C-alpha cells in the first residue's frame, strides 16, 4: 500500500524553488510527481518563472501521461517528465514552478489531478522544518546536465 | 489535501480510497416512495463523513431549498445519521406530508452504509438536486 499526500489542483499549485550553486544549471527535464484521478479529457500547463516573468511553459495532457506509463487505467501516480526542446539554463536564484489547469478542467470528488507532496527531504532539500504532511513541498525532480562529466 | 491509499503499483482501473473533501451533485428523483440510495460508504474504508449540503426541489411554480449538515458515523456496528438544518424551509421531514418533502435516513448492509431518501410527488415538471461537500475520514 502506498500512501500519497495529494494537493488537488484547483486554480493553480505553486512551488517556490531556490537554486543555490554558483554554476549555471542545465535542466533537460522537470519531473513533477503527479496523481491523476479520472481526469481523462483535460490538459494542463507546467510553468517556470522568476521575477523577470515566465521562462518556460509547456502543455501536457492526461492522455500523454497515460502513454508514458503504458496504461489505460484512469487512476495513477507518475513522475511525469516535462521536457523542453533545449535545456533550460538557470542561474543561481529563486524561481517558481506552477501547475496550471486548462480551460475545461473542473475538479470534484470523482475527477481531479493533484501534485504529490514529498516526504521530508527525499527529493529536494527544504529550508524550513515542515510541521505536518501538508507543509511539505511538492515533489519534483530535475534532469540536469553538467559539462565535463563523462 | 487528500490522502490517497494506493494499492501496490502505479495504476488502477478503479478509484482508490482517499480521505479529504469531495464535491458531488446528485439528482433527487420525484415521488420515490421506497428508500433510494444517494451515496454508500464502507466501514472497512471510512469511519465517518461530514457533509455540508444544499438541497433544492422545484416544479413549474414552486421552489424549495434546504441547507444543512449531515454527520454520518459508524459506532462499530452500524452507520448512524445526525442532521442539522440551517434554514426553516422544512423540506426534510420524518415522514412525507407535503409534495416537496423528502426524508433522509441511513441503512446498513454489513459494513456498507447508505444515505437514502424518499420524496413526495411534485408532478411531472419536477427537478431536484442534492449538492454536497463531504469530508470523509478514513479508517486507520
Domain coordinates of chain B in residue numbers? 3-7+19-138
pLDDT of residue B20: 76
Domain residue extents for chain A: 6-145
**B18 interaction partners in chain A (CB closer than 8 Å):** 6, 37
Q: How does pLDDT run across B85-104, given as a tens digit for each residue?
A: 887 678 999 999 999 999 99
CB B12 to CB A73 under 8 A?
yes
Summary mean pLDDT of chain B: 90
Q: How confident is the model at residue A147 (pLDDT cuts 50, 70, 90)?
A: low
Cα–Cα distance for residue pair A134/A2, rounded to 1 Å: 17
- What's the whole-number mean pLDDT along residues A27-48? 91
B3 to chain A: closest CA residue: A5
Sign, CA torsion B116/B122/B125/B129 = negative
- Distance between B99 CA and the closest CA of chain A, angstroms: 31
Q: Give the residue from B3, B4, B50 with the most A CB atoms within 10 Å of its CB, the best one to mutate.
A: B4
Cell triple for residue B108? 446498513
B20 touching chain A per CB within 8 A: yes
User: Is A25:A19 a contact under the CB 8 Å cutoff?
Assistant: yes
**A114 interaction partners in chain B (CB closer than 8 Å):** 2
pLDDT of residue B89: 73
Facing residue for A6 by CB, picked from B2, B11, B24: B2
For a pLDDT cut of 70, what percent of chain A falls above it? 94
Res A149 pLDDT > 60: no
- What's the whole-number mean pLDDT along residues A146-150? 60
Res A120 pLDDT > 70: no
pLDDT of residue B106: 97
Taking only Cα atoms into account, the Rg of chain B, rounded to an integer number of angstroms, comes to 16
pLDDT of residue A15: 93
- CA–CA distance from B133 to each of A16, A46, A143 (Å)? 30, 29, 39
pLDDT of residue B140: 65
pLDDT of residue A100: 95
- What's the whole-number mean pLDDT along residues B40-57? 92
Q: How does pLDDT run across B72-84, given as a tens digit for each residue?
A: 999 999 999 999 8
Q: Taking the complete model, does pTM exceed 0.90, yes or no?
A: no
Q: Which architecture does CATH list for A6-145?
A: Sandwich (2.60)
- What's the whole-number mean pLDDT along residues B101-128? 94
**B11 interaction partners in chain A (CB closer than 8 Å):** 69, 71, 73, 75-76
Res A27 pLDDT > 90: yes
Res A20 pLDDT > 80: yes
**CATH top class, domain B3-7+19-138:** mainly beta
Predicted complex: ipTM over 0.85: no
Q: Which comes out higher in pLDDT, residue B90 or A30?
A: A30
B2 to chain A: closest CA residue: A6
pLDDT of residue B94: 92
CB B2 to CB A114 under 8 A?
yes
Per-residue H/E/C for chain A? CEEEEEEECCCCEEEEEEECCCCCEEEEEEEEEEEEECCCCCEEEEEEEECCEEEEEEEEEHHHHHHHHCCCCCEEEEECCECCCCCEEECCEEEEEEEEECCCCCCECCEEEEEEECCCCCCCCCCCCCCCHHHCCECEEEEEECCCCC
Q: How does pLDDT run across A78-110, given as a tens digit for each residue?
A: 999 999 999 999 999 999 999 999 988 887 777
User: Is B55:B102 a contact under the CB 8 Å cutoff?
Assistant: yes
Q: How confident is the model at residue A150 (pLDDT cuts 50, 70, 90)?
A: low
> Which residues from A are below 8 Å from B when comparing CB atoms?
1-8, 35, 37-38, 69, 71, 73-78, 107-110, 114, 117, 133-134
Q: How crowded is residue B100: how many other Cβ atoms within 10 Å of its Cβ?
A: 23
Amino acid at each position: 500500500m502506498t500512501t500519497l499526500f495529494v494537493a488537488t489542483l484547483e486554480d493553480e499549485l505553486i512551488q517556490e524553488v531556490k537554486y543555490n550553486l554558483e554554476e549555471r544549471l542545465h535542466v533537460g527535464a522537470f519531473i513533477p510527481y503527479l496523481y491523476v484521478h479520472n481526469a481523462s479529457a483535460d490538459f494542463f500547463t507546467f510553468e517556470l518563472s522568476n521575477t523577470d516573468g515566465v521562462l518556460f511553459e509547456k502543455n501536457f495532457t492526461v492522455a500523454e501521461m497515460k502513454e508514458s506509463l503504458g496504461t489505460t487505467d484512469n487512476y495513477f501516480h507518475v513522475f511525469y517528465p516535462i521536457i523542453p526542446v533545449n535545456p533550460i539554463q538557470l542561474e543561481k536564484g529563486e524561481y517558481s514552478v506552477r501547475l496550471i489547469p486548462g480551460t475545461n478542467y473542473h475538479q470534484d470528488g470523482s475527477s481531479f489531478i493533484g501534485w504529490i507532496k514529498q516526504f521530508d527531504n527525499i527529493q529536494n532539500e527544504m529550508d524550513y522544518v515542515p510541521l505536518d504532511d501538508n507543509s511539505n513541498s511538492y515533489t519534483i525532480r530535475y534532469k540536469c546536465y553538467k559539462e565535463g562529466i563523462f | 489535501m487528500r490522502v490517497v491509499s494506493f494499492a501496490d503499483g502505479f495504476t488502477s482501473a478503479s478509484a482508490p480510497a482517499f480521505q479529504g473533501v469531495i464535491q458531488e451533485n446528485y439528482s433527487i428523483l420525484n415521488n420515490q416512495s421506497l428508500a433510494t440510495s444517494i451515496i454508500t460508504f464502507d466501514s472497512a474504508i471510512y469511519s465517518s463523513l461530514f457533509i455540508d449540503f444544499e438541497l433544492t426541489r422545484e416544479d413549474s411554480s414552486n421552489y424549495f431549498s434546504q441547507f444543512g449538515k449531515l454527520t454520518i458515523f459508524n459506532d462499530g456496528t452500524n452507520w448512524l445519521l445526525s442532521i442539522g438544518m440551517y434554514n426553516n424551509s422544512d423540506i426534510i421531514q420524518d415522514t412525507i406530508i407535503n409534495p416537496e418533502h423528502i426524508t433522509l435516513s441511513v441503512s446498513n448492509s454489513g459494513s456498507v452504509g447508505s444515505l437514502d431518501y424518499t420524496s413526495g410527488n411534485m408532478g411531472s415538471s419536477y427537478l431536484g438536486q442534492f449538492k454536497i461537500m463531504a469530508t470523509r475520514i478514513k479508517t486507520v
